[in-house]
Structures are given as structure tokens and as C-alpha cells.
Amino acid sequence: MTTRELQDRIIELKKEKDVCILAHAYQSHDIWEVADYIGDSYGLSVQAAKAPQKTILMCGVRFMAETCKILSPGKRVLLANALAGCPMAMQINRKQALEMKKAHPGLPLVAYINTTASLKTVCDVVVTSSSAVRIIKSMPENEMLFVPDCNLGGWIQEQIPEKKLHLMKGGCPTHMRMTARDVKMIKAMHPHALVLVHPECLKEVVDLADYVGSTTGIMKYAKESDAKEFIIGTEASIVQHLQFDCPDKNFYLLSKECVCHNMKMTTLVDVLHAVEGTGGDEISLPDDTIRDARKCIDRMIELGG
Ligand code: 13P
Ligand code: SF4
């Protein structure tokens, strides 16, 4: 089968079987072309809650599919590839989070959305890279715990110096592979290019950037900018998507190391098998996990606007 034939079959089946396909921005372009909605983690959660279809197929990583299930417990939620997980989400579990709260009595726990459903049951609010500054600014508390990404946390702290964030030593193994040396090397090759990076990058990389934002924030900035060349410091797929959308501009990947192997697990054939009903991993969570984790996700949507 050709890519086009596979895509046509998926489009036909998703209508027939009432499936909504959600794809994270880091998915490959062939998957983007069959998706009903593409977005960053925040956009996907909001969309998951709104989707009218009976089944949601998440092309992304496990915490994203869990978030969909928490927001739409009555729907069938499938993760296109069962092995696609976010290693950062495994860096802190519920027990460790409770210990952290015990060590800092009275402080709210703010969790990055890249965490497990079980951890979210003991959080006060969830944030994403595109909503974190807005949400934390609007919280009444001036001091809080933030888990697990200390690079994102440090970047938020710089934007909101009036608040105090207690961080742990976690982070994204993909984004942490990019260094200031990589920025300098690629900038020497393309001196006029603007540097756009994700806040999961190391501070030494963020400090050299012209723009810092979520995956969709980076894409919006590049599309709206008058500049013609951009160095992209996030997952490699974003370079490909931007190149398709803006053929008159040039995009360069900040480092060849910037590939998220978990995001890249999902293939178009996985998507076909999931819509056919022969593949995909159905997400099932205990009722009390859904009930307790939902509170901090609802709060994110309420404060995130
Ligand atoms: P976004 O919220 O920017 O989509 O980020 C998700 C993610 O996993 C980044 O590594
Ligand atoms: Fe997780 Fe990093 Fe991959 Fe995003 S890029 S899914 S944070 S490992």
C-alpha cells in the first residue's frame, strides 16, 4: 500500500467508526494529514474534552491518552502505539510526590502535564508549556512545588520572579541533549537565523534563544515572523512541518540529537490498525483515579483560558 492509500483507508474508517484522531505536533507529517486535530499538550487536552466522536485515538505518548480518558471517561480512548511513553512522566510517582508535599507542608503541588494519571491525583493544578506562566501567575499562592521538569520550572521562575518555585531534578532527555555549543555551531552556519526553542531545553540554550515557547508557539512564531531563516530547538518533526507550511522560509534543526524516540514510535500503520480495531492500546483507569486526577486538569483549563 502507498502512503496515500493508507491515509485514504484511515480517513474512510475513522468516519465509519466515529473516531476522532488527535495528533501531537511531534508526530510525523503522514499522521498529521489524517488527524482531526493537531496541537501542543494544552490544545490536545482541550480538544479531547470537546470532541463529539465516541472514540478518541491519540497519536502521541501515554500521558496524553490518559489525559483524554480523564476528560472523557465515557469514551473509548486509544493510544496508537502501546509502547509510546514519555520518560519524563516516569521521573516522579505518586508516593514521591506525597513525600515532597509532606516535606513542604501547605505548599500547592503544580505538575507539568507530562506526568502519570496516578501522580495527578495528588496535584493541585496541572500546567503545560504554553499555559504554565499564565496559570502560575493567576494562583493565589506565592510559593509552590513544581514537578518534574527543572528546566521548564527554571524558565517559568524567570518569567514570574515574584513567585517561588521549589523544583526537583527532572527533565526531558530529548531536549536536554541540546547544548549552548550546538546553538553556537549552527548559528555560525546561519548567522541571520532566529533561534526558537522549547522551554524544556537547558537554561544555557534558552538564554541564547530569540523566542521560547511550546511546540505550537514555536510554529506560530515562525509562520508570523518576517524573518526567513529559523533554527528550531525542539523535536525534529517541527522542522519538517514548518518546511511544508512555509516553503519560502528555511528551517534548521538545532541539533541532530533532537529526536524523541517515543513520539516516533507511532507509524501510519499503527493508526490504521487502531481505527480498524485490530491495534492500539485502550486506556483504562480506575474510577477514583479519573475522579481525583480530573480536578487538577479542570483547574488547568479553567485558569489556562
Ligand atoms: P508541548 O506542550 O509544547 O506540546 O510539549 C509537549 C512535550 O512533550 C514537549 O516535549
Ligand atoms: Fe517526553 Fe521529551 Fe518526548 Fe516530550 S520530547 S514526549 S517531554 S521525552
- Output the residue whose Cα is nearest ligand 2's atom 7: 172
- Pocket probe mutation, ligand 2, options 235, 237, 238, 261, max atoms within 8 Å of Cβ: 235
> Residue 128: nearest ligand to its CA?
1
- Flag whether pLDDT at 43 surpasses 90: no
8 A C-beta contact, residue 121 and residue 97: no
The pTM for the full model equals 0.95
Q: Give pLDDT tens digits for 87-103.
A: 999 999 999 999 999 99
To which H or E segment does residue 182 belong?
helix 180-189
- Flag whether pLDDT at 305 surpasses 80: no
Answer yes or no: is the C-beta of 151 below 6 A from any ligand 1 atom: no
Phi, psi dihedral angles at 165 (to 5 degrees): -105, 125
Mean residue pLDDT across the chain? 96
Q: Which pLDDT value is given to residue 154?
A: 98
**What mean pLDDT is predicted for residues 243-264?**
96
Answer yes or no: is the C-beta of 88 below 6 A from any ligand 2 atom: yes
Cα–Cα nearest to 51, from 68, 67, 39 = 68
Phi, psi dihedral angles at 39 (to 5 degrees): -170, -175
8 A C-beta contact, residue 238 and residue 27: no
Cα–Cα–Cα angle for 234, 239, 245, nearest 5°? Answer: 135
- Output the residue whose Cα is nearest ligand 1's atom 3: 214
The strand ranges marked E within the chain are: 19-24, 37-39, 55-59, 76-79, 109-112, 125-127, 143-147, 164-167, 194-197, 211-212, 229-233, 250-253, 281-282
Tell which phi-psi region holds residue 166, choosing left (phi > 0), alpha (psi between -120 and 50) or beta: beta
Phi, psi dihedral angles at 27 (to 5 degrees): -75, 160
The strand ranges marked E within 151-245 are: 164-167, 194-197, 211-212, 229-233
**What mean pLDDT is predicted for residues 38-57?**
88
Cα–Cα nearest to 44, from 9, 17, 79 = 79
Least confident of 29-38, 40-49, 73-82, 134-143: 40-49
